[in-house]
Amino acid sequence: MIVSDFLEIVRSGIDKHGIATEVFDSKASASCGVVLTYTALQKWDFVTFLSHAELWLRDQNGKQIGYAEYHLTGGGGFDFSKWASTESKMNPVIDQLLAGYGLVK
């Protein structure tokens, strides 16, 4: 299942660090200095919710230069925070990934 708001939330979080983004469906343009790839997984418990996400930053040579992860322990279980918004889950992850790359507005 697709986490429908994930890409826009990640782009917005990166923008808060003053970094411009561009989306590619396949291989990124050679002019890109850094490429972000991601995985986002969701589960269902009456409604869908983000359960796991990973973000990887790689330089032009493909070398990993950053990594951050969100993981909902135990898949959520009785933890009501599992239903928190994707944005509230991902903003701290993006801030961790981009620590030192600009001030958050």
pLDDT tens-place values along the chain, 105 residues long:
678 899 999 999 999 999 999 998 888 888 888 999 999 999 888 888 999 999 999 998 989 999 999 998 877 667 777 888 999 999 999 999 999 775 555
Please, are residues 63 and 78 in contact by the beta-carbon 8 Å criterion?
A: no
> Can you give the pTM of this predicted structure?
0.85
In a domain, 27, yes or no: no
Please, are residues 3 and 87 in contact by the beta-carbon 8 Å criterion?
A: no
In a domain, 104, yes or no: no
In a domain, 102, yes or no: no
> What is the domain extent for residue 38?
6-20+33-97
Tell me the helices (H) and strands (E) count for the chain, helix number first. 2, 3
In a domain, 67, yes or no: yes
Residue 55's nearest CA partner among 18, 17, 98 is: 98
In a domain, 75, yes or no: yes
pLDDT of residue 63: 94
Q: Mark residue 18 as left, alpha or beta (left: phi above 0; alpha: psi -120 to 50; beta: remaining).
A: left
In a domain, 53, yes or no: yes
**Alpha-carbon distances, residue 102 vs 6, 7, 29, 57, 76 (angstroms):** 22, 20, 23, 16, 32
In a domain, 61, yes or no: yes
In a domain, 1, yes or no: no
- Give me the number of domains the chain comprises: 1
